[in-house]
Chain A
Amino acid sequence: MISVDRRALRNFDWLSLAVALAISVIGIMTIYSATRPLSAEPHPTFYLRQIIWLSLGVFALLATAWIDYLWIDRSARVLYAIGVALLILVFFLGRTGMGAQRWLSIGPISFQPSELFKIAYIIMLAHYLSTLRSPLDARSLLKAFFLLTFLPFLLLVKQPDLGTGLIIVMMFLALTAARGMEKRVAVLLLVLSLISLPFLGNVFWEGLKDYQKSRLVAFIEPETDPTGIGYQLNQSKITVGSGKVLGKGYLHGTQGPFRFLPEKHTDFVFAVFAEEWGFLGSVFLLTLYMVLILRGLDTALKAKDDFGRLLALGITFMFMMYLSINIGMTMGLMPVVGIPLPFMSYGGTALLTNLLCVGILISIRMHRFELFH
């Protein structure tokens, strides 16, 4: 099953690996700084746990990279079925954390099935779309939506993990658009979504939990609620802005350790980084992300088949969406949705998943010259 081939090794994408590792290490450093205690208390072990997950992730990345992604294509249905099964399982057995039922425990390890499901979904969607004739007609589009997307979307929103749910739908739209659809289908989709927007908006709003509503309100008027979500948004902007050009210096940030910025080591880890490293550091970090994402795009371009291209595009889109939504909300450009920053936010399952994705990208790139399976 695993075929290590000299030529493949020569084509190994060291750049993607190096950049992903660099960002992960920066993430662990930032988590270390954000959670450092100010008195003689012991240092919280978040960074240690993240190091363990990183080691696991690197192992998973290397393993995935060596697998010919053809095998991924073939096992797409199985992976998808497992993913949905996990989502259903979490619905019944999930451990509640932070107001949402998101975790599953196996022995001592807890993980978030929704993170793992993301890859399964991208693989399945890429697999399915690659079997369809391009451009897509209305029938196959609807089929792809209702067969693959609708059920997991409902399950995710029920958790509630609104962030991942929306990402799934956006992935669907982006990937089908990238695959290409008939002009009239595209126009129809556009018109339909424009018409249904107010209606959906209403249903959407009614379906939101109170804290989700208040996040939206707080985004529009941060000052209305200075201690709640509006407080979070304000403090996040203060944290980023106070970094100025050169930053306060590593381990000299104040907003996180002094507990002014909640979620400092998870969703708002970028703010802590921007505070300590300033504008220059932040631009450097964004450049690393851009290199990784453009490299993924290049992999999509160079992929030898439609599945590979769609898979690489899907992964790249996912990274891009997570990154822009997370950093956007950190800097007050978007409402606060619980979306982590890939590779940097504390969270083992997410880190593992993201490294796995990089592994897939490397695999697609590495195996592009193998014409015969």
Chain B
Amino acid sequence: MKAQAEKEKISLIGYIIVAIFFLLIMRLWQLQILQGNEYRKISESNRLRIVRIPAPRGIIFDRNHVPLVKNSAYFFASVIPGEFDHGKLPVLAKLLKMPAEELLARLSASQATPFVPAKLKQGLSLKEIAYIEARKSDIPGLMIEAEVSREYPYGELGAHLLGYLGKPSPSQLKEPSFKNIPPDMFVGQWGIEKLYDASLRGTPGQKIIEVNALGRQLRLLQERPPVKGDDLVISIDIDLQREAERAFGDRAGALVAIKPTTGEILGMVSKPSFDPNLFTRGMSREQWLSIAANKKNPMLNRALQSQYPPGSTFKIVTALAGLETGAITPDMKVDCRGGILLGNRRFGCWRKEGHGILSLHRAIVESCDVYFYEVGRRVGIDRIAQYAAALGLGQKTGIELGRERQGVVPSTAWKKETSGMPWFPGETLNAAIGQGYVAATPLQLASMMSAVANGGLRYKPSFVVHSEPAIAGRLTANPYNLEIIRKGLFGVVNERSGTGWAAKSYLTTVSGKTGTAQVVALGRGAGALHERFQDHAWFVAFAPHEHPEIALAVLVEHGGHGGAAAAPIAKTAIEAYLRPKPAPDTADH
């Protein structure tokens, strides 16, 4: 009886035990069979990492195959948060020479990914690397990582042109063209780097590696090498660029040089400039403020994003309009007595004592305002506007570099539209000498000079060498009339009392035109003015006179008189470009 009860009790225990085993097996079934695929996938992704291998970016060369950028290694100190001992924080702070709070902030920011190195200090110098490497073993998890970064060996030189790299912004990442760009990849954010980013960028490779829980690579399973970005030869001549920038010194301004036969940009200066290396490497707050809060606005590309009254350089337009419309002949004589009266208002010549009797050629050479008042009066504003437009003023050149300004070419219709007011005859006189409403960018004036030099063809400015030039407009002018103007421009530099004498070169024959853009309408010769109120100086030119190979426009902000301030810079740039060069060292790529 008792034995029977014991037997029943034990077999009950047996059933309970079997039931528990059944339960465990059910759970196994659930995990391994029902959810097995899912867990297998997770275990694979635990173990496998896809690592991007950045593609070396294409190198940008100048027209003579001088490299303008470099890809160089760039080092930073990182810590694997999961391995780091927080007791070592003071030691680490001392080692990296950074405040402990900042390190702690960076570490806690990457707490969610304890096995991914957190970047602590970027842009280490070789000295710092050696120092850290020697003490690395004291701090678990500390490592030095390297990335390829862009270096601009010329620094500020041509910075507006070359641009810089940066990580894509959150809004950029949403754009379709950034679909395959990882958020930590450097892409072109400005200038040529941005314009040709797609071809410079290359195709990143990838490797699939097996890692352990600490993220250490254990085995390479698959590798697809990166494809280097395409190299790019741009039309810039770095010698021209360098010497022109040096000639500017500390003065603000811009220079644009164009090859008249193709529209290639040979040089583009905008001063003050900035160091693109700071953007690519990351800069301190002070460095950023010195750029962003600078009153002189170094980020502005004055060559195309700033417009100024063209001053006397506009007399080229006025003269052409006069000749082409038949309103004047080259032989038309005007007697300059230092000014004329229109109604009861006096319009002065820059030379108060007057030029005496002169014809068109001498009027250009000596830049006589009174002569061009007369031309303007005869032609009328609307026909001046027509020829200004034919020479590319008042419209965008179509350069694909930043937001270009289009300048102003006033006309009766324009004034009615913008202010609702009628056109006054006196305004025509102002416009005829490039003052008043007229405004142009240095790029537009360079493009105009290129058209004057080559007989009337305007090309869309481009940075690509040997490409098919794109024609932006064609000036239909009598070649004889253009030749009269060109001769005048030759005289400006090379004849007695020409205003552009400072551009005279013994290396080549320069033809050009000075210009002085009034900043405020003060009486001429008001004495020593504050720099801020000084006039802008212009010089536009092409060379050599017989077979032009370079056309350019120079603007010096608050430079005073064009002949004195801007012409020497133009001469420097022209000579730098036309001077015979040593054979390019092509092995340097």
Interface residues of A (CB under 8 A from B): 38-39, 178, 180, 227, 235, 237-245, 254-255, 257-260, 274-275, 278-279, 282-283, 286, 289-290, 293-294, 297, 300-301, 309, 313, 320, 324, 327-328, 331-333
Contacts and interface: CB of A to CB of B under 8 A. Distances in A.
A301 B8 CA distance: 10
B32 A178 contact: no
B42 interface: yes
Contacts of A320: 17, 20
B214 A245 contact: no
10 contacts: A38-B212, A38-B218, A242-B42, A242-B43, A244-B36, A244-B37, A259-B212, A260-B213, A282-B28, A290-B21
A293 B46 contact: no
Nearest to B38: A241
A297 B17 contact: yes
A258 B31 contact: no
For chain B, which range describes its interface: under 10, 10 to 19, 20 to 34, or 35 or more residues? 35 or more
B292 interface: no
Given A242-B36, A245-B36, A331 B28 contact: yes
Given A240-B39, A242-B40, A300-B10, A258 B33 contact: no
Q: Is the interface of A mostly helix, strand, loop or mixed?
A: helix
B40 A244 contact: yes
Contact of A237 (B17, B31, B47, B213): B31
B17 A294 contact: yes
Interface in B200-239: 210-214, 218-219
Q: Is the interface of B mostly helix, strand, loop or mixed?
A: helix
B212 A297 contact: no
Contacts of A324: 20, 24
Of B28, B44, B212, chain A has the most CB atoms within 10 Å of the CB of B28
The 4 closest A-B pairs by CB, nearest first: A241-B39, A244-B36, A242-B43, A259-B213
Interface string B9-34: 11101100110110011011101110
Given A259-B214, A297-B13, A331-B27, A254 B36 contact: no
B10 A301 contact: yes
Contact of A294 (B14, B24, B29): B14
Interface in B23-81: 24-25, 27-29, 31-33, 35-40, 42-44, 46-47
A240 B31 contact: yes
A290 B18 contact: yes
Contacts of A254: 43, 46-47
B24 A178 contact: no
B34 to A, nearest CB: 9
Contact of B46 (A238, A245, A274, A327): A238
Of B9, B10, B82, B214, chain A has the most CB atoms within 10 Å of the CB of B10
Given A38-B212, A235-B46, A242-B42, 12 more contacts: A241-B39, A242-B43, A243-B32, A255-B43, A258-B210, A259-B212, A260-B213, A282-B28, A286-B25, A301-B6, A320-B20, A331-B28
A309 B212 contact: no
A275 B17 CA distance: 25
Contacts of B43: 238-239, 242, 254-255, 260, 275
B37 to A, nearest CB: 7
A242 B218 CA distance: 21
A289 B38 CA distance: 28
A258 B39 CA distance: 16
Given A242-B40, A290-B18, A328-B24, A255 B46 contact: yes
Contacts of B82: 227
A235 B213 CA distance: 11
Contacts of B21: 286, 289-290
Contacts of B46: 235, 238, 254-255, 258, 260
Contact of A238 (B18, B29, B39, B211): B39
A332 B28 CA distance: 11
B402 interface: no
A178 B218 CA distance: 54
Nearest to B82: A227
Of B27, B214, B218, B219, chain A has the most CB atoms within 10 Å of the CB of B27
Nearest to B210: A258
Interface string B566-587: 0000000000000000000000
A122 to B, nearest CB: 16
Given A240-B39, A293-B17, A297-B14, A274 B28 contact: yes
A275 B7 CA distance: 39
Of A235, A237, A238, chain B has the most CB atoms within 10 Å of the CB of A238
Nearest to A243: B32
A361 to B, nearest CB: 14
A278 B11 CA distance: 31
Given A241-B39, A241-B40, A39 B28 contact: no
Contacts of A275: 43
B426 interface: no
Contacts of B36: 241-245, 279
B429 to A, nearest CB: 79
B26 to A, nearest CB: 10
